[in-house]
Amino acid sequence: MKFFIDTANLAEIAEANDLGVLDGVTTNPSLMAKEGIKGKDNIFAHYVKICNMVQGDVSAEVIATDYQGIIAEGEELASLHENIVVKVPMIKDGIKAIRYFSEKGIKTNCTLVFSAGQALLAAKAGATYVSPFIGRLDDVSTDGLALIEQIVTIYDNYGFETKVLAASIRHVMHLVQCAEIGADVATCPLNVITGLLRHPLTDIGLEKFLADHKKVNS
């Protein structure tokens, strides 16, 4: 399972990368805005900074919502760095653009996916990744993890190569359950990745080991 970090914050990306377990980064327009990155040149420069920090795919989302606009923006984004994955929303023109990018060898991440039918369409179009949003489904009383399970089954049934990238992960159990289901990738905030470290028995056990060592070594 690959771990991506879902942020545009360079310090958080550096911290996850330093841990040695990071396989890539996903961003979206909200995450870029949260960092105060504005204007095309600054946004593009920020993507390049991220690509130079991490070895692995970096999703950069298009703002255009029409076919020609998505193609133009996606090609520009893809030319920034070989690790850029063009993130395209699950809309009609987005699907057409994913087909186009797929034929051109440009990697894509189909985002804002909330149903198995949408995921099937993204795979048919040749998306590299599909991003179902677990947390946002849970927010509206729908089982986000059940969607991950459905998509994994459908892709396995037909050998689709599109990778299931579980997104909108809110806590450690989301991540662990995605791993049980067999999601290819999970993109998480930093606190979810570092949250995997925590167990009170680890802390208690370590404290005792160190105390016992000190008793006979001081």
Output DSSP code: residue 169.
Answer: -
7 binds ligand G3P (CB under 6 A): no
From the candidates 40, 87, 107, 163, give the one annotated as an active-site residue. 87
Instruction: Return the number of other C-beta atoms located less than 10 Å from residue 189's C-beta.
Output: 18
Distance of CA 51 to the CA centre of its chain: 14
- Residues 6 or more apart in contact with residue 76 via CB below 8 angstroms: 44
Please say which residue, 28 or 108, places its beta carbon nearer to ligand G3P: 28
d(CA 165, CA 23): 12
26 binds ligand G3P (CB under 6 A): yes
Instruction: Indicate which single residue of 183, 187, 190, 192 sits in contact with ligand G3P (rule: CB under 6 A).
Output: 187
Question: How far is the CA of 170 from the CAs of 21, 89, 173, 190, in angstroms?
Answer: 19, 21, 9, 10
Please say which residue, 8 or 97, places its beta carbon nearer to ligand G3P: 8
87 is catalytic: yes
12 binds ligand G3P (CB under 6 A): no
Please say which residue, 71 or 167, places its beta carbon nearer to ligand G3P: 167
Output DSSP code: residue 43.
Answer: H
Instruction: Indicate which single residue of 28, 109, 118, 128 sits in contact with ligand G3P (rule: CB under 6 A).
Output: 28
6 binds ligand G3P (CB under 6 A): yes
- From residue 105 to residue 144, the character string flagging contacts with ligand G3P as x (rule: CB under 6 A) and all else as - is ----------------------------x-xx--------
d(CA 29, CA 52): 20
Q: What is the nearest approach in angstroms of ligand G3P to the Cβ of residue 1? A: 16
Beta-sheet pairing, 163-166 with 84-89: unpaired
Please say which residue, 59 or 150, places its beta carbon nearer to ligand G3P: 59
Question: How far is the CA of 85 from the CAs of 60, 77, 109, 181, 202, in angstroms?
Answer: 6, 8, 6, 24, 38
Please say which residue, 121 or 137, places its beta carbon nearer to ligand G3P: 137
171 binds ligand G3P (CB under 6 A): no
Residue type, 21: V
Give the binding site for ligand G3P (CB under 6 A).
Answer: 6, 26, 28, 133, 135-136, 167-168, 187
